[in-house]
Structure 1
Amino acid sequence: MRLAILTDLHANREAVEAVLEHAARQHIDQYALLGDFVGYGADPGWVVDRVRALVDGGAFAVQGNHDAAVVRGPSPQMRPDPRYVVEWTRDRLAPAQIEFLAGLPLQQSHGDLLFVHANAWAPPEWDYIHSRAEAVRSMQATSRRVTFCGHMHEPKLYHLAATGKAGDFTPTPGMAIPLLPHRQWLVIPGSAGQPRDGDPAACYAVYDDAGGELTYWRVPYDTEGAGAKIRAAHLPQRLAARLADGE
């Protein structure tokens, strides 16, 4: 199975369309969608409908913290910009779309693969994986050999040997990486809808379970068009600027 992994789409239609078009040329058999389908961007309804169509076709999908906020309302801890966008999004989604987000699980598994938005040790608490130590904590919380998670908007790959030795590196786009079977792996594809590593190109990854290989991809898209929609919707203007800057 060749699996395309997308996460943190953040209501960015232009980015999602570009990534799905790119993935269609990679002989993909199935999709895994790791949450945060809404928030920040101006096309939440379109993105939710596209995700729902992929799920109807058999895709794996989990709930992210922005999805949960749209379902339940923003938490008091949310910063002002995302809080405003959550409220704006809630007013623009149909009840069936919110119901779809509400019904998403916090994690899914398939064979030796685990799909989760933030981490494996406490999915509903939305803690970030900022370091190797946190990645090890996540890998030790599951018996699955490969964990795919989002939440972090920068591509990263971690691994853990049976001896307890861990490592990490930032992948090169387009280069196949063998995921050696005697290690555990934690895959962070980076954000499709709002990359934050200084590169505005959308992120996603492809995992080939037959060959045991993982490839990260960067896909340029119309950041100006996506930003113009944010400005036209009177959402916080810096959300448009950060798309162009990749920050």
Structure 2
Amino acid sequence: MRLLLLSDTHANLPALQAVLQDAASRGYDQVVHLGDALGYGPFPVEVLESLRELEAICLLGNHEQMLLEYASGKRQPRESVVSQALTWQLSQLSADHLRWVGSWKDGIDDPDVGARYRHGTPVSLDDYADSVTAAREVFQNWQGRLGFVGHTHVPAVYATLNAPVGEWVKAQAFPDGGSYMVAPSTRVILNPGSVGQPRDGNPQASYAVFDTARAHFQVFRVTYDLQRTQEAVLAAGLPPVLAARLSVGK
């Protein structure tokens, strides 16, 4: 099976469309979206409809969790860029959209793949696996072999030996794309990066394909119509910083 791994699309439809076009030429069997389809961007409805049409497995991200808490009144919006974007998106979404997002799970174990899907780390919705130190702690608290996560907006792999966790934790980043073969002797945390708001200095959309038969993880970077997204951010009255940051991949 070939898994198309997406994360952190953040309502950026042009980026998602470019990724799906590129991925179609490579072939895949199942789409997994690792959280934060929403937040920040100007196309929340269109991104949700695209994922639903793909019959994607969608994981709950911290932005979806926050939006649902705003919708239910459990949390009140604040004066922040995150809150401004989510409040506007909430005004665009239908009750049906909210029901669907509300059905997304905070973590899924896939027995067919032997993997755990979660937004932050294999053991947390909103912690970050963004350093060797953080990865070592995750490996100590999670005994699985394959963990697919997002949240950092940076494509990367963290690996440790399939043994009691010691000093051997290695990291590999993919600023321009690249591949990684998962060895039988290792346990790994695999992050495809961000479709809609990369933060590794490369503004190109990031996604990955995992070939379960070969245990092969490959990250791809794709150019998209960034200006279209920036113009839509401003037209929606969203904070201009959400448009500006897309150009620099930060």
TM (normalized to structure 1)? Answer: 0.93
Secondary structure at 2:26's aligned position in 1?
coil
Give, in angstroms, the shift of residue 182 of structure 1. Answer: 1.2
Secondary structure at 1:25's aligned position in 2?
helix
Q: Hey, what does 2:143 align to over in structure 1?
A: 143
Correspondence 1:48-197 to 2 at 5 A: 48-55=48-55, 59-73=56-70, 75=75, 80-111=80-111, 112-123=114-125, 126-161=126-161, 162-164=163-165, 165-171=168-174, 173-197=176-200
Give CA-to-partner distance per residue, 1:164-191, whole Å, 9 cap, x none. 2211111364533210011100011111
Give CA-to-partner distance per residue, 1:56-114, whole Å, 9 cap, x none. xxx32210011111111185696700111111111110000011111100011212111
Q: How far apart are the structure 2 equivalents of 1:44 and 1:60?
A: 17
The percent identity for this pair of structures is 32
Give CA-to-partner distance per residue, 1:195-244, whole Å, 9 cap, x none. 01111100001100111111011011011111000011110001001111
2:222 to 205, 219, 224: 219
Q: Which stretch has the larger CA shift, 140-149 or 74-83?
A: 74-83
Which 4+ runs in 1 deviate beyond 4 A?
74-79
Give, in angstroms, the shift of residue 50 of structure 1. Answer: 1.3
- Quick one: which amino acid aligns to residue 223 of structure 2? P
1:231 matched to 2:211: no
Q: How far apart are the structure 1 equivalents of 2:183 and 2:77?
A: 40
Secondary structure at 1:36's aligned position in 2?
coil
Secondary structure at 2:237's aligned position in 1?
coil
TM (normalized to structure 2)? Answer: 0.92
Give, in angstroms, the shift of residue 143 of structure 1. Answer: 3.2
Q: How many residues align?
A: 242
Residue pair 1:34, 1:149 contacting (<8 A) in 2 also: yes
